[in-house]
Amino acid sequence: MSSVVLAHGAWSASWAWKKMRPLLRAAGHEFFSPTYTGLGDRAHLANRAIDLTTHIDDVANVLEFEDLKDVTLLGHSYGGMVATGVADKMADRIARVVYIDAFAPKDGQSLFDLLGPRGEAHMRAGADKDGDGWKLPLNPMPPDTAPEDSAWAVPKRRPQPIKTFEQKIKLAHTTFPPRHYIYARKNGPGDVFRQFGDRAKSEPGWKYYEIDASHNPHITCPDALMKLLTEIMAS
């Protein structure tokens, strides 16, 4: 049995991984999926001071207070920023980090840095228009999301504090636990995640995989994602 800990994506929360819970449980794993401060069931705590460090601490504290070791840490999308910070802070407790179509920052980079100037300008304009300047409005769900999945997921998503995208990550270490990157092949034009897949294919310390899915495989094809995670955790 493995302890699997999730760093979920932006605007999302633990609820978005409900299809994965029974699959991980059936495989004998203990699954911890903390919701970040200000999102999901913790949306009542949202405030403009929440930043990337807040969300890193949300996940790192689960490892500490549950006394978890030999952890498989999952980072999906924005959760790659969080997982990178957790891996830097709690490396002795982590067996591997699995980036699922996720941002993979280097020291001193913010998510806005990784989006690039156009992406940042678009997000800031949305925050100024619909988020009082400090909340990032929701990105749309991938176009191949089934209508029934959109029906339960979209109402639960919440705007995200902009500082989580602005804050540059500060890494204390240059070595990491083994890292695995799962790239979603069905991402559309302007795909920002290809750069991280290419990095994983070329840098030591990484293993690279692909999944025949768009950006949210935990929603659109959980069985395929579970099969791939099983392969990774057995390696």
Alpha-carbon gap, residue 231 to 94, rounded angstroms: 17
User: Is the predicted pLDDT of residue 223 greater than 90, yes or no?
Assistant: yes
Give the number of other Cβ atoms within 10 Å of residue 224's Cβ.
13
Which one of 2, 3, 77, 110 is the catalytic residue?
77
> What per-residue confidence (pLDDT) applies to 2?
87
**Domains detected in the chain:** 3-234 (3.40.50.1820)
Instruction: Please name which of 165, 166, 201, 171 lies closest in space to residue 183, comparing C-alpha atoms.
Output: 201
* Residue 235 among the catalytic residues: no
**Would you state the pLDDT for residue 188?**
77
Euclidean distance between CA atoms 123 and 175, whole angstroms: 32
User: pLDDT (tens digit, 9 = 90+) per residue, 120-155?
Assistant: 999 999 999 988 999 999 999 999 999 999 999 999
pTM, entire model = 0.97
For residue 51, count CB atoms less than 10 angstroms from its CB and return exposed for 0-12, middle for 13-18, buried for 19 or more. middle
- Residue 37's contacts (CB-CB under 8 Å, 6 or more residues apart) are 45, 46, 50, 54, 55, 58
Contact present, 56 and 85 (Cβ < 8 Å)? yes
Q: What is the DSSP letter of 106?
A: P
